A = this chain, B = another copy of it.
Amino acid sequence: MNRGPDGKRRSVTIHDVAREAGVSRGTVSRVLNGGHYVSPAAQTAVNNAIRRTGYVVNRHARSLITGRSDSVAFLLTEPQERFFEDPNFNVLLRSCTQALASQDIPLLLMIAGSEDERRRNLRYIQAGHVDGVLLVSSHSGDPVAGELQAAGVPVVACGKPLGQQARIGYVAADDREGARDMVRYLHASGRRRIATVSGPPDTPGGVERLAGYRETLAECGLPADDLLIATGDYSRASGEQAAELLLRRAPDIDAVFVASDLMAQGVLDALARAGRRVPEDIAVGGFDDSPAAVSTRPALTTIRQPWDRISKEMVRMLLARIGGEEPAALILPTELVRRDSA
């Protein structure tokens, strides 16, 4: 954008570049779009002209004709306020932004906290203002994924969208295997009464991590015991309550696998209040490796979710879908991070 003689913004257009380079506007456009069917001489002339004039393509004009917006939405559906305060979310949003930026694709941030906002955002997306959607739903049963898919909008979800008919592409950490790793580790370090605090049963993490816990107990020859299982809602307070419940029902536990670091913080609080030492009396294992994990005392042994990679793969998959590829599910391995709590 420059200033014209009238003082108003006047951008240099493809026309100016064409004149400067001594070619037609069509040729400039061809150079801009990959340089196919353009002679080396014309290439050079145009590129020089672009440099000299400081030309930048007008995306609106381009989008008007191509029908693509060359932008992508990051849609956060958030029945629970809490979700936004989840440090994991930060990492995700940031990595997605950067992965997209490296391809010069802007990210539109959309938050659907209320039904009203959900509808507004849906309308916006369906109007074709973005080429695709990175979907982050805290809970499943969220119809938005299906609605977008039905509208023909490419979608990639973070985590497996539960209860969806449509085959939606998604990227997720291997929740089940992560849980298994942690429980195996607790068992290997000599624990025999291993309890768990699971997440909500309508979330993939709630389901899969619990399943991993159960399977590993069985593999280790430890008896299944429902008294050892408490359920939280991923909040710190719910972790606290779950631990109290566990302590009442099974005072002899010597380990707890907690399905999120935030809940593990609550567990640590409850344990401290009950006078149990961690890890001496009771080992505590978390899940996520969120920033919370290093701020607890003792620091949390946990399972790392590869957020950075998840984001990159989500972006890659979405771009592929926009390019016409079919949906896929990508499961990424987790990693056990040993610190002090187990």
Cα(A85)–Cα(B291), bound, Å: 8
Q: How many residues of A contact B (CB 8 A)?
A: 51
B-contact bits for A1-17, CB 8 A (1 contact / 0 none): 10100000101000000
Among candidates B64, B110, B120, residue contacting A60 with C-beta atoms closer than 8 Å: B64
User: Considering the complex, which residues of chain A in the window 101-151 have a beta carbon less than 8 Å from any beta carbon of chain B?
Assistant: 101, 104, 106-111, 113, 117, 120-121, 123-124, 126-129, 151
A331 contacts chain B at the CB level, 8 A cutoff: no
When the two chains form their complex, are residues B59 and A129 in contact, meaning their CB atoms are under 8 A apart? yes
Among candidates B64, B107, B123, residue contacting A56 with C-beta atoms closer than 8 Å: B123
A87 contacts chain B at the CB level, 8 A cutoff: yes
Looking at the complex, which of A35-43, A91-99, A208-216, A219-227 is the stretch in contact with chain B? Answer: A91-99
A74 contacts chain B at the CB level, 8 A cutoff: yes
- What is the total number of copies of this protein in its complex? 2
Q: Say yes or no: A127-B84 contact (C-beta < 8 A), given A101-B111, A106-B110, A111-B101.
A: no
When the two chains form their complex, are residues A64 and B67 in contact, meaning their CB atoms are under 8 A apart? no
Residues of B within 8 A of A3 (CB): 152
Closest chain B CB from A304 CB (angstroms): 16
A241 contacts chain B at the CB level, 8 A cutoff: no
Cα(A212)–Cα(B90), bound, Å: 32
A295 contacts chain B at the CB level, 8 A cutoff: yes
Residues of B within 8 A of A113 (CB): 98
User: Considering the complex, which residues of chain A in the window 58-102 have a beta carbon less than 8 Å from any beta carbon of chain B?
Assistant: 58-61, 63-64, 67, 69, 71, 74, 84-85, 87, 89-90, 93-94, 97-98, 101
A–B Cβ pairs within 8 angstroms, 20 of them: A1-B126, A1-B151, A3-B152, A9-B67, A11-B127, A11-B128, A56-B127, A60-B60, A60-B63, A61-B64, A74-B109, A84-B90, A97-B110, A101-B111, A104-B120, A107-B109, A108-B109, A109-B109, A265-B295, A269-B297
